[in-house]
Amino acid sequence: MKIFTAAQIREADAYTISNEPISSTSLMERAAGRCAAWIEDRYTPAQPIYIFCGKGNNGGDGLVIALQLLQQGYPVTACLLEYGSRASEDYTIHFRQLHQQYPGRIREIADVTGFPELPPGAVIIDAIFGTGLNKPIEGWLAGIVHKINDVKRQHTIIAVDMPSGLMADGSSRNMPVIHAQYTLSFQFYKLAFLLPENAAFAGQVHVLPIGLHPEYITQTPARYHITDIDMMRTIYQPRQPFAHKGTYGHALLIAGSRGTMGAAVLAARACLRAGAGLLTCHVPQCGYEIMQLGEPAAMCSTDEQPDFNTHFHEQADARYKTIGIGPGLGTSAATARSFEKLLAVYKRPMVIDADALNILSVYPYLLYQLPAGSILTPHPKEFERLFGSTTNDFERLELLSRQAVRLQLYILLKGRYTAIACPDGAVYFNATGNPGMATGGSGDVLTGILTGLLAQDYSPKAAILLGVWLHGYAGDLASAELSQEAMTAGDIINFMGKAFLSCFPPEM
């Protein structure tokens, strides 16, 4: 699914209005009607509802929601914020209707002392600002935002389209923003919802289709995307009936050192569970038995060194469809030298994680020697070591994308919505996964999965989109059965089978 900027969303609205065609008033009624229906599905008409409306079209949505809920018998109070701006046309139209039909339900608020006394259990609807916000909320309006946030533990807060105060496409650091439990976002995700610095604001995001014109959506290029199951179904390749293990590639995994062999075992298991035909793991001598017992289906080559890997470059030859390197590897100078020699001989896209990334941050010239189309999988700290720090998440996203283009690599910045930056400048956010995956070893599992998919001849882009999706999906299945607390990285591997079956049900 594309993620459009606020300006593109305005264009989509305008395109829909002139080409469907539909009046802007009716489009607002359609959009806000979806919100009202969402609320009616979840709350009984006994529920007191307070709708805070700004004077733009987001406020107009609030008025339409008020009208619809009042018609259904909900005790709604429409709190209209009177901050002096001129009201939008569609706001004015719906204000007149509300005023005519339910004058007693309107409460005008002109300063922070007008903030209403909320009855227990009241639901707050935030329709103050949406995508039209063009500067931080200030003055007494900011006071209203703080008042609403002060009662967030006692009352459910539902934001219409966006939490008010949040910028769709830029940083809102240190600005007053509503802390919503739910955001009912029209038609698309906004970029701001996907970045960790905004974690407190949008809550659970529900994207409500409002019938924006499909022609605009397909024809307008977007830089940012969020992955979905339909995209995965175009990528996934079922196995062929006459396949043999050679069909699905031989992967080499270079991982492990004394004390971190578990990372190597997790990556190896995940690589095989992702479907690699054959896997050889290169480990230090101390890891031989651990690996042979930990994953009997993997072959094992041992280093000259007992405790860490120093001679893996001698292993890397054309036999291997791809290489995954990094989990538990260590960062000794001898390991770094072997990595450099490996890069001199091995030219296919590979997966680079953990300590292999840390080696790259110490010897950044090696970044230019990576095979084009290789995949870097940093978490935020590793990213910072590699490419430096930024003052906010939007700048970091820019830096991520710029580096992927400059180096012609795929760079995955891991997190709640892992951001996958492609060499052509596009960025995909992954939608699956949960905080149960914030546990040691989850990243090693991802490296294994990506290596396994590359071995099977998925293109790097396909391997990443599918691999990151399945990793998160398996994590979601694991947490549903085991809880986010009790699940471990190994459980993500154990649920890979169910993830494949549930995303790609075999044809009968």
Report which of 99, 126, 166, 144 is spatially closest to residue 39, judged by C-alpha positions: 126
**433 contact, one of ligand ADP, ligand NAX, K ion, none, CB 5-8 Å limit per kind:** ligand ADP
Distance, CA of 209 to CA of 184 (rounded, Å): 10
Query: Measured from the CB of residue 194, what is the shortest distance to K ion in angstroms?
Result: 18
Per CB under 6 A, which of residues 86..125 are in contact with ligand ADP?
none
Ligand-binding site membership of 310 (annotated):
no
Residue placing its CB nearer to ligand NAX in the complex, 194 or 270: 194
The interface mask with ligand NAX, positions 15-34, x = CB under 6 A, is ---------x--xx--x---
| Cβ contacts of 406 within 8 Å, gap of 6 or more | none
Q: How far apart are CA 123 and CA 50, in angstroms?
A: 6
Pick the closer one to ligand NAX by CB: 61 or 491.
61
Which of 256, 306, 260 is closest to 281 using CA atoms? 256
Which tokens sit at 457?
A: 């001849």
The residue to which tokens 């103050």 are assigned:
128
Dihedral pair phi/psi, residue 352, rounded to 5°: -120, 120
State the sign of the Cα–Cα–Cα–Cα dihedral 91, 96, 102, 107. Answer: positive
Least distance from K ion to the Cβ atom of residue 121, Å: 21
Decide whether 186 or 201 has the Cβ nearer to ligand NAX.
186
Enter the tokens of residue 258.
Answer: 């004394």
Which two three-digit tokens encode residue 367?
């970044």
Of 98 and 160, which CB lies nearer to K ion in the complex structure?
160
Token pair belonging to 221: 């290029």
For residues 377 and 357, give the distance between their C-alpha atoms in angstroms, rounded to a whole number: 8
Q: How far is the CB of 59 from K ion (least distance, A)?
A: 9
* Signed CA dihedral, 420, 421, 424, 428: sign only: positive
Instruction: Note whether 185 binds ligand ADP by CB under 6 A.
Output: no
- Cβ distance to ligand ADP smaller for residue 145 or 191: 191
What part of residues 442-461 is at the interface with ligand NAX (CB under 6 A)?
A: none
Return the residue of 77, 280, 418, 456 that touches ligand ADP, per CB under 6 A.
418
Among 4, 8, 34, 58, binds ligand NAX (CB under 6 A): 58
Binds ligand NAX (CB under 6 A): choice among 18, 134, 174, 234? 134
Residues 425-464 that bind ligand ADP (CB under 6 A): 433-435, 437-438, 440-444, 446
- Measured from the CB atom, the residue of 176 and 490 that comes closer to ligand ADP is 490
For the bound state, the minimum distance from the C-beta of residue 254 to ligand ADP, rounded and expressed in Å, comes to: 16
Asked whether the beta carbons of 60 and 88 are under 8 A apart, the reply is: yes
What, of ligand ADP, K ion, ligand NAX, none, does residue 186 touch, CB below 5 to 8 Å by kind? ligand NAX
Tokens describing residue 227? 């992955």
Residue at shortest CB range from ligand ADP: 443
Does 444 appear as a known binding residue? Answer: yes
- Contacted by 12, from ligand ADP, ligand NAX, K ion, none: CB < 5 to 8 Å by type: none
Q: Does 418 count as an annotated binding residue?
A: yes
- Residue 471 · residue 504 · CB < 8 Å: no
Rg (CA), the chain: 26
Do residues 127 and 64 lie in contact, with contact meaning Cβ atoms separated by under 8 Å? no
Residues paired with residue 419 on neighbouring β-strands, in sequence order = 413, 429
3 state SS of 353: coil
Structure-token pair, residue 61: 């949505």
Of 30, 461, 422, 15, whose CA–CA distance to 218 is shortest?
A: 15
Determine, following the binding rule CB under 6 A, whether residue 135 of this chain makes contact with ligand NAX: yes
Which of 65/160 has CB closer to K ion? 160
Residue 131, annotated ligand binder? yes
Binding mask 182-211 for ligand NAX (x = CB under 6 A): ----x-------------------------
Residue 161 assigned to a binding site: yes
Structural element, H or E, at residue 6: helix 6-19
Nearer to ligand ADP, 278 or 445 (CB): 445
By beta-carbon proximity to ligand ADP, the closer residue of 130 and 324 is: 324
* Residue 359 host element (H or E): helix 354-362
Side-chain-side CA neighbours of 508 within 13 Å: the count stands at 0
Q: How far is the CB of 466 from ligand NAX (least distance, A)?
A: 33
* Interface with K ion (CB under 5 A), residue from 61, 90, 126, 476: 126
CA–CA–CA angle 249, 252, 257 (5° rounding): 155
Residues belonging to the binding site for (6S)-NADPHX are: 57-61, 130-136, 161, 263, 328, 379, 444
Residue ranges for the known binding site are: 57-61, 126, 130-136, 161, 164, 263, 328, 379, 414-418, 443-444
Please report, as ranges, the residues that interact with ligand ADP according to CB under 6 A: 379, 414-416, 418, 433-435, 437-438, 440-444, 446, 472
